[in-house]
Structure 1
Amino acid sequence: MTSETADSRWAELLEDASTIAEEYRENGWDAIVLEPEAVSPVEREDRTGLDVEVSAEAYELVESLVDSGDVTVTAADVYYRPPEDDDERRIALVVERDEETETGVFVPLCYDLDDSRSVFETALVEEELLLHVTTAATDAETEGWVSFSHDDPSLFLEESDVRDWDR
């Protein structure tokens, strides 16, 4: 996949996230669409999973909702898009939902499978993939992050990816 194709698929995903979020709003939900600046694997003592770097403003909004206890994510949908050709990039839209308060946080993702292999292997064994919303300025020593847990990491992968790793 060329960079142009990847950029086009990413732009389509962001557009779809906005469209789906608008449908949620029309049904009375509060919907927050994040626009990640970067998505990268993280394997540290304090957190493992995918770091989803967003603007400071977006992070503060998500953090205030979750930390205040106003929003408790009780469900999630993962809209995974298969790669084109032999591309190692994976694209997905995750909708973190609080059914009680009717709040949805939309998290578009684009991640490189080769770079993320170890994270996904661990997640498949532990049956939990964590998405950590953070900012570029986040320092694990002094700053925080908001984590969303997913108990079926295979939803973020091709079936063949999972089969290959089971060997």
Structure 2
Amino acid sequence: MDSNPFQQVVGYWEEVIEDMEITAAEYREAGWDVVELHPGDVAVLDEEQYGFDVLVPDDEFDQLEAAISNATLNDTEIYRAEQDGFIFALAVIFDSDNEIAVCYPLYYSSENTIELRKQVEQTNQLDTIIRTLSNERAITISHDDPVSFFPEHPGSN
């Protein structure tokens, strides 16, 4: 078995990227401004801050920063699936008043999210920290329905 988890998920990850592109195109066809993020890495944060750490290329971070400078990202839609012990999610964060949407994929191990899920259920808070590869700039997005990031039944695989 390969110790690199990405090797276990690469096929599913490509499907989530395709789903993101289709979803983004639908928003664009409806007249929305859309930013698509293609993470270089996704990590689960479950100690001091709870949520996801998402590394994106500088040019995509710049697009995100410009798009949300006058927006309030206050709604979240999560499209989620489980395969082979991993959760794959497409997050669409949006400001419906200004018709701005940000789409980004996530993947995380079902086993590695046990503590994160407990925290989310207790606090009803979950953040995604989107940052540049150099870690010089970061944007934190708080999610309005954090439980939607997890399977319906804790511990189910």
Could you tell me the TM-score, scaled by structure 2's length?
A: 0.85
User: Cα distance 1:5–1:40, how it changes in 2: closer, same or farther (>3 A)?
Assistant: closer
Give the equivalent residue in structure 2 for 1:159: 152
2:32 aligned with 1:29, yes or no?
A: yes
Residue segments in structure 2 that go unaligned for 5+ positions in a row: none
User: Cα distance 1:26–1:150, how it changes in 2: closer, same or farther (>3 A)?
Assistant: same
Paired letter, 1:78: I
Structure 2: distance between partners of 1:4 and 1:107: 20
Q: Which moved more, 1:143-152 or 1:53-62?
A: 143-152
Structure 2: distance between partners of 1:24 and 1:117: 33
Structure 2: distance between partners of 1:15 and 1:48: 27
Give the equivalent residue in structure 2 for 1:41: 44
Paired letter, 2:146: P
Q: Secondary structure at the match of 2:73?
A: coil
Give the equivalent residue in structure 2 for 1:145: 138
Q: Post-superposition shift, 1:148?
A: 1.6
Identical-pair percentage: 29
Give the equivalent residue in structure 2 for 1:6: 9
Give the equivalent residue in structure 2 for 1:54: 56
Matched residue count: 153
Q: Which moved more, 1:72-81 or 1:151-160?
A: 151-160
2:113 aligned with 1:116, yes or no?
A: yes
Residue segments in structure 1 that go unaligned for 5+ positions in a row: none
User: Cα distance 1:108–1:147, how it changes in 2: closer, same or farther (>3 A)?
Assistant: same
Q: Post-superposition shift, 1:144?
A: 3.7
Could you tell me the TM-score, scaled by structure 1's length?
A: 0.81
Paired letter, 1:101: N
CA RMSD in angstroms comes to 2.3
